[in-house]
Structure 1
Amino acid sequence: MVSALAELFTPSSRDFSVQEAIAKANTLIEAMGWIRRFRGKTTVIKLGGSLLEDKMALMHILLDVVFMESVGMKPVIVHGGGKAISNALAETGVEAKFIRGRRVTDAATLEVVKRVLAGELNEFLTEEMERLGGRAMNLSPHTTNVLFGEKLPTETDEDLGFVGHVTRVDRSVIEGLHYTDQVPIIPSMCEGEDGQLYNVNADTAAMAVAQSLGAEKLVFLSDVNGVRRDKDDSKSIIDSLSAEEARHLIDEGIIEGGMIPKVEACLETLGRGVRKVHIIDGSIRHSLLLEIFTTSGVGTEIHP
């Protein structure tokens, strides 16, 4: 009798599989509202730093991008590659130099940047996207360049060499790829009017692309989980901030150190037509999807 009752009230494996399927369906229903809201909208994703060295994290990021494109969003990837460049410089015996956090780029360094950033990394990301089932196109000085600019102005006693900033984005090429359901992948280099190439900070390159496209979102994939009330406590993350609140937190000293220029860059981007900026930890599995397609998100959203 006991065994018969136990069998009666113990869910079968089929019951478990049905419940799992229902849970998955509920997740899709939750995401549906966000999918409809952002369908046809552009999201610029800045990728770089340690994430490019973490193969598992990178795979999940690119899978998220494939999903975004599959449900009708228009993702654009802008990437840096500082660690890969430094490693390549070390192999060639060229010393890496920095001034105020920016890489000094002489002629020899520029050749390495062009080979690694605009060549090897850009091609790898494109091929990996397609291996995961997406469609992507690398846009670089080796293929079709879309970032144009000039030498970055600096103090009179500083010379960063061939370091530039973006002044114009060829948005027609990027938008053309979106019409054919391809994801543009853009390295952080720009070309001057005379054809000279320049190394560009990836954050500022992504900002320029987002502003030019009038993006719905600009997402900075970082190695921290967002803006925190206590920089040493990952649980003190602030889910959502208005521009006014962000300025107040900077004035109060709650936002400090290296987070200040990143948040200030977010505020500048909001002031130029981008609707929302996100700072998220790219090492969290499927962090892009969790931030965009769930109510709570996993990072910090900054809005006007």
Structure 2
Amino acid sequence: MDDAIRKAEILIEALGYIHAFRHRQVVIKLGGSAMEEPAALRSTLQSILFLAAVGLRPVLVHGGGKPIDRAMTAANLPTKKVLGRRYTDEATLAIVAKVLREDINDSIVRQMRELGGRAVSLHTGSTQALFGERLKLKGPDGELVDLGNVGEVNKIDGDLISSFTDAGLIPVLPCLAYDAHGNWLNVNADTAAAAVAGFLKAAKLILLTDTPGILRDRQDPKTLISSLNEAESRKLIAEGIIDSGMIPKVEACFDCLRSGVEQTHVIDGRLRYSLLLEIFTKSGIGTEIRL
């Protein structure tokens, strides 16, 4: 009986958060081990379906770095990185688009339907929601560096996305955008998710990662930082505590917060039901990033 009462208490704790976020859009970025490990993916998809069932309006944006790497190896194509980004020539773009759309996106939507949910792929023709332009980064000497068919999102069909969430369907978007000529652009999944959240003025952006959140010591999960503002984050970047792939995640959080997103979170996608623990409990389990 005590266990049953504890379960009821957990539901009551969640009730306030359900009321607060009911009918609000929540953007979730899926990637890394949360997508690679079948058990982790299943619990994540179950969590997303739970969000929809209690009245939240989730939107899922996903990447696919590791499956793309494997497909590149199978095709005997080298992976080239420029300033930490995948250089995307035409041959690489064809693999990226196929893996993201046909292998990953279709599989996620099928699994969500098998679990009893209602999901829809948004990645082609009249259901393409992300549009962009080529991204050029500044090199160490200030020169513009060409990344090939790599882009950044500059337009989102928010009405299309909202029409599905309003109808109780869960949009699933790969990190691909159309350019002005209808050609694909490979977009960083974190920045794509942040752009979607910012345009929708979502209640939350949640980035699922391969770490418990932002750690002062990456070897010690007990050093998790539960909350950070921009000044604190900049200091940690300067100190090298936030580095490598975590920097674009933090920058993506800042971008969408400035666009009107209320809350952003970096959490461990490998942990079962981490989404529910972050959204529906007082303490949460990851790092909240705020301005």
TM-score range, shorter chain: over 0.9
Q: Could you report, residue by residue, the CA deviation over 1:33-68 in whole angstroms, capped at 9, with x for unpaired residues?
A: 111111111111111123221110000000000000
- Preserved CA contact (<8 Å) 1:119 1:142: no
Letter in 1 for 2:21: F
Paired with 2:69 and 2:240, the residues of 1 have a C-alpha distance of 33
Partner of 1:241: 228
Paired with 1:212 and 1:226, the residues of 2 have a C-alpha distance of 25
SS at match of 2:271: coil
Partner of 1:119: 102
Q: Could you report, residue by residue, the CA deviation over 1:132-189 in whole angstroms, capped at 9, with x for unpaired residues?
A: 1111001012661100011112355733211111000000110000121000000000
Q: Is 1:130 the equivalent of 2:113?
A: yes
Letter in 2 for 1:27: I
Partner of 2:189: 202
RMSD of the alignment, in Å? Answer: 1.6
Q: Is 1:41 the equivalent of 2:41?
A: no
- Preserved CA contact (<8 Å) 1:47 1:80: yes
Partner of 1:178: 165
Q: Is 1:107 the equivalent of 2:90?
A: yes
Pairwise CA distance, 1:129: 0.8
SS at match of 1:152: strand
Partner of 1:190: 177
Distance change (3 Å), C-alpha of 1:109 and 1:248: closer
Pairwise CA distance, 1:227: 1.5
SS at match of 1:160: strand
Letter in 2 for 1:286: Y
Q: Could you report, residue by residue, the CA deviation over 1:180-205 in whole angstroms, capped at 9, with x for unpaired residues?
A: 10000000000011111111110110
Paired residues for 1:141-156 under 5 Å: 141=124, 144-155=127-138
Q: Is 1:230 the equivalent of 2:217?
A: yes
- Preserved CA contact (<8 Å) 1:50 1:83: no
SS at match of 1:161: strand
Structure 1 unaligned regions, length at least 5: 1-17
Paired with 1:82 and 1:260, the residues of 2 have a C-alpha distance of 17
Pairwise CA distance, 1:243: 3.2
> Aligned pair count?
286
Partner of 1:256: 242
Paired with 1:57 and 1:115, the residues of 2 have a C-alpha distance of 23
Paired with 2:5 and 2:85, the residues of 1 have a C-alpha distance of 50
- Preserved CA contact (<8 Å) 1:230 1:254: no
TM-score (normalizing by structure 1): 0.89
Distance change (3 Å), C-alpha of 1:62 and 1:143: farther
Instruction: Give the greater-gyration-radius structure (CA).
Output: 1
SS at match of 2:261: coil
- Preserved CA contact (<8 Å) 1:78 1:202: yes
Q: Is 1:24 the equivalent of 2:2?
A: no
Q: Which structure shows the bigger proportion of residues in strand conformation?
A: 2
TM-score (normalizing by structure 2): 0.93
Partner of 1:4: none
Paired with 1:269 and 1:142, the residues of 2 have a C-alpha distance of 26
